[in-house]
Structure 1
Amino acid sequence: MATTTAAVLAGDTAKRRGRSTGPRRSAATRGDWIVGYTMVAPVVLGSLAFVIVPLVTVFWYSLHDWNVLANTFTFAGGENYERMLSDEGLHDSLLASLWFSIGLVVLNITLALFLAVMLNQKLPGTTTFRTFFFSPVVVSLVAWTIVWSFLLQADGGINGFLDLLGIQGPNWLRGDFTAMLAVIVVQVFKNVGMNMILFLAALQGVPEELMEAARIDGARAWRRFWSITVPMISPTILLVSILTIVGSLEVFAQIDVLTQGGPGNSTTVLVYYLYQQAFQFNDFGYASAVSVLLFIIVLILTLLQWQTRKRWVFNEN
């Protein structure tokens, strides 16, 4: 009898405890949800205010004929997009953007990887060497470009140095090919330091045991680089490639300061052409359509790189 009574009392106590802890658990759960939503709210609201809403607004503007000076805003449907099909200036800007992107990606990534490999050798003076190439990253973009504009003049510092070597330098900013080359080089030296640091961090994560095993097996330095180093740092190569390609499609200040899109349309990249349509010709509707095109191009390139990563990214977690 005593045993039965104790069991009943124990059961009643357990039920009371269950009823008492239930609301506490619910309150704790609600508190966790509130804290979680509070933490993510700034990011969500920021994305809505500065990404989603502007994208929708730009697409809406692209469906209109909007001239600020004439104070007209009329619905045009797909006329702006049809206009892009026959716009020679847009076609030239796409071609200029293509050449600029190819030159920037090849030179920037190649030079950054080479510099990182050299720094990873831990040779004397590496700190000074690293500072020299990274310092342009923190320099004002406009100030950096203005200095280069003086160096690239017909009587500038670069041609002055070439004269000492007995070489007649061109007017770098007045030829179609040399102007594009000059803009690419200026951009490469501005940002190569950041990619160099990213590659250096990746190289320092390559296991020394693998390299030592390859040396014992007789693999030469070039074979070790292609068969071990490159696969091990392939995630960083993917990251740098995406950042460099997206950055190449958003270049503006260098073009505006150095060439203003010239000579002709040889350096009028897509972003600068968009600027011309909006702020020089006051055709904001067509400029919005061009910006939608730019967004689609960046999105497609990013998705392609991300989807093809499985074929050449070997160390992805």
Structure 2
Amino acid sequence: MTVVASPSELSRRKRPYWTMARRDSLAGYVFVAPQAIGIAVFVLVPLLLVFWYSLHEWNVLAQTFRFKGLENYHRLLSDPGLPEVLIATAIFSIFLVVFNMSLALLLAVLLNQKLRGITVFRTLFFSPVVVSLVAWTIVWSFLLQNNGGLNGILDHFGIEGPNWLRHPTTAMIAVVVVQVFKNVGLNMILFLAALQGVPKELYEAARVDGIPAFRQFRRITLPMISPTVMLTSIITIVGSLQVFAQIAVLTQGGPGMSTTVLVYYLYQQAFEFHNFGYGATLSILLFVIVAALTFLQWQMRKRIVFYEN
């Protein structure tokens, strides 16, 4: 008895495996593969290794590598210096984010005006971003010395300047100011691009209605650039938690532990005291803090970004 296949069955049998849909899918995977491999090799694998090292006591000088379980995490909870480090980190991050974003937005608003020579000022404010971080910090370390350039300028006006890097309060102020001036140009450029994308018709309609400039800024400018505000806030907060070179060059965490932020404390434990296991535990703590703050900011986007719902 002969079974005759239906036309639909014949078409399915003759259909090639590499259909257009499969080719499109393969092309997509090929394009995504380099980024996925990079994330796996340079992010996921190191993160897993750091967690593995945090479960061990690793002393390179003694060439010992012993499994300790959660002992490093118990040490983290009972570390007497950690609260002071976290307070210094919070103070540095809060002041850096507030001053950086406020100054960047103010400069962007000023530079958005059509004035003569404005291009020169844009270049001037952005130039510190492309300068070497270590070179920038070394120059400021000379300026902030007790007999440095800043106190020399103050002495010219009859003002006796403090030893900026040897007092807890002024040392923190100095580190924040150096970091703000270094990176404010990047946020300024992002804000400037966002301001130039705001439709001019909105301001014209507001002026026709007699709305003052401050209310225009609050009701039109800020909502329209809110996606950029969201982006810059995430970048600035994450960057503030990862600061290291400025602390290492300017204050070495001092005086006392007043400027010892979490990343520098991690460096001290791992590379000065050779407690690599505990250093890895501190890096896990830093990762948790950064991830939590980023997630919190992302959840707040519905209140910050005007078109999110």
Per the TM superposition, whether the score is higher than 0.5 is yes
Q: Matches of 2:19 and 2:91 in 1, distance apart?
A: 60
1:216 aligns to what? 208
Query: Contact (CA 8 Å) 1:234, 1:315: kept in 2 or not?
Result: no
What is the deviation of 1:282?
A: 0.4
Unaligned runs of 5+ in 2: 1-6
Q: What is the aligned counterpart of 2:118 among 126, 144, 148?
A: 126
1:236 is the counterpart of 2:254: no
Q: Which amino acid aligns with 1:284?
A: F
Which has the higher mean CA deviation after the structures are superposed, 242-251 or 205-214?
A: 205-214
Q: What is the aligned counterpart of 1:293 among 266, 285, 293?
A: 285
Q: What is the aligned counterpart of 1:280 among 249, 272, 276?
A: 272
Q: Which amino acid aligns with 1:38?
A: V
1:178 is the counterpart of 2:170: yes
1:83 is the counterpart of 2:75: yes
1:10 aligns to what? none
Q: Matched residue of 1:74: which SS?
A: strand
Q: Matches of 1:299 and 1:19 in 2, distance apart?
A: 49
Query: Contact (CA 8 Å) 1:232, 1:315: kept in 2 or not?
Result: no
1:22 is the counterpart of 2:8: no
Q: Matched residue of 2:161: which SS?
A: coil
What is the deviation of 1:88?
A: 2.0
Q: Matched residue of 1:266: which SS?
A: coil
Q: What is the aligned counterpart of 2:239 among 222, 242, 247?
A: 247
2:197 aligns to what? 205
Structure number, greater radius of gyration: 1
Q: Matches of 2:43 and 2:102 in 1, distance apart?
A: 33
Report the CA distance shift for 1:27/1:68 in structure 2 as closer, same or farther (over 3 A).
Answer: same
Query: Contact (CA 8 Å) 1:274, 1:287: kept in 2 or not?
Result: yes
RMSD, aligned CA: 1.8
Q: Which amino acid aligns with 2:191?
A: F
2:138 aligns to what? 146
Q: Matches of 2:295 and 2:154 in 1, distance apart?
A: 44
Q: Which amino acid aligns with 1:144?
A: W
Give a deviation string over 1:244-285, Cα, whole Å, max 9, x none: 000000000000000111100011100000000000000000
Percent identity at matched positions? 68
Q: Matches of 2:38 and 2:275 in 1, distance apart?
A: 29
Please show how residues 156-195 of structure 1 align to structure 2 within 5 Å. 156-195=148-187
Query: Contact (CA 8 Å) 2:93, 2:241: kept in 1 or not?
Result: yes
Give a deviation string over 1:152-181, Cα, whole Å, max 9, x none: 011111111111222111111001010010
Report the CA distance shift for 1:19/1:106 in structure 2 as closer, same or farther (over 3 A).
Answer: closer
Q: Matches of 1:193 and 1:210 in 2, distance apart?
A: 27
Which has the higher mean CA deviation after the structures are superposed, 30-39 or 126-135?
A: 30-39
Query: Contact (CA 8 Å) 1:172, 1:182: kept in 2 or not?
Result: yes
Q: Matches of 2:186 and 2:48 in 1, distance apart?
A: 33
Report the CA distance shift for 1:227/1:27 in structure 2 as closer, same or farther (over 3 A).
Answer: closer
1:34 aligns to what? 26
Q: Matches of 2:91 and 2:119 in 1, distance apart?
A: 34
Query: Contact (CA 8 Å) 2:234, 2:294: kept in 1 or not?
Result: yes
Q: Matches of 1:179 and 1:48 in 2, distance apart?
A: 39
Q: What is the aligned residue count?
A: 303
1:257 aligns to what? 249
2:45 aligns to what? 53
